[in-house]
Amino acid sequence: MKLNLKRPLAFFDLEATGINVASDRIVEISILKAMPNGTEEIKTMKIKPNIPIPLETSLIHSIYDEDVKDAPTFKDVAQEIIAFLGDADLAGYNSNKFDIPMLVEEFLRAGVKFDIDNRKFVDVQNIFHQMEQRTLKAAYKFYCGKEIVNAHSAEADIRATYEVLLSQLDKYKGVDFEDKKGNISQPVVNDVEALHQFTNLNKPVDFAGRMVFNDNDDPCFNFGKHKGKTLFDVFDTEPSYYSWIMNGDFPLYTKNRLDKFWKQHRDKKNEERQKHKPVEKEIKEEQPIQNVPTKPAFKKPINQEQKPHQQQKPKKDNGPANEDMLKMLADKFKKI
């Protein structure tokens, strides 16, 4: 069967130092890009994680520190990966919970922009788990009748995942599926948009699943004491919860998505404040009534010498002093 594609679908698998999206690092990436014309392109590369690979992890995927000591870092190959993916939609096994968030986290750490908003995500495991509920090894045996050679090798895993999806499309063509609400549909069809909808039933806001959209498409917390509450309600009642997550050990993509809704909420509140802000009355300039004399705005200052309270009374002229006046003065001031 050939996939019905409108644009490339990139199956990819990651091997990492562990499963913690926030703290672990990629050590190998393999991408199989299925083209609309039926051709395929594949790229596999080792990645130097710049942190030690735990022994228990190396025993699973057989990649040791020695194997990646001379490999490029993710930042070194980030642009090469973006160029290879192009505008492809993304597919994988358990990719929505691990591979895609891990890949996005590495791009964010490298400071390289990777657009995922316009891509579709097909998680083959979600089809399998919802229809049969098995592991990749069992899925490959169940759908393809074969055993995976070199299991836990990134390239072997994506090849098996690709073949499993093709077999699923054959097996479940026209098969009914009943969801938790009792709705019956035939969701497994040869269409990436439909597969995207079916493999993302939980409607996650972030790949880590810390936030999900409810039935009204409102973003809600999906963990902790505020599980089930909308982000906007929590922003109103406990805004410090936003700061706690932003400063906590959460994936960068989770923080980016939370910050996006925080800014939307803040902008909406600012708009509401502007709407309820009292409108100042316009002060109209008064026009003077015609033919009515107006008083001068101010009087000319009175000269200092002309101010009434500072003017001295004129002295009375008694004429020249005579002998009687002198005698009177002498009597008045003579010593006793």
Query: Can you give the pLDDT at residue 333?
Result: 60
Residue 276's pLDDT is: 78
Highest mean pLDDT among 156-160, 200-204, 293-297: 156-160
Strands 121-123 and 89-92: parallel
Residue 303 has pLDDT above 90, yes or no: no
- pTM for this one? 0.63
Helices and strands (H and E) in the chain: how many: 12, 9
Q: How far apart are CA 253 and CA 213, in angstroms?
A: 16
Mean per-residue pLDDT for 175-184?
87
Contact 64, 53 (CB under 8 A): yes
Closest among 222, 111, 221, 128 to 168, alpha carbons compared? 128
Q: Kindly provide the b/e burial profile for residues 263-284, where b requires at least 16 CB atoms within 10 angstroms of the residue's own CB.
A: eebeeeeeeeeeeeeeeeeeee
pLDDT digits 0-9 by tens, 218-259: 999 999 999 999 999 999 999 999 999 999 999 999 999 999
Look at residues 132, 135, 139, 126 and name the one whose alpha carbon lies nearest to residue 198: 126
Domain positions in the chain are 9-129, 136-200, 211-273
Each residue's pLDDT tens digit, 37-49: 999 999 999 999 9
Tell me the CATH number for domain 9-129.
3.30.420.10
| Partners of 230 in the β-ladder | 220
d(CA 121, CA 89): 6
Give CA separation, 270 vs 211, 233, 264, 273, 274, in Å: 24, 16, 10, 5, 6
Task: State residue 179's pLDDT score.
Answer: 81
Lowest mean pLDDT among 18-32, 80-94, 256-270, 286-300: 286-300
Q: Is pLDDT above 50 for 329?
A: yes
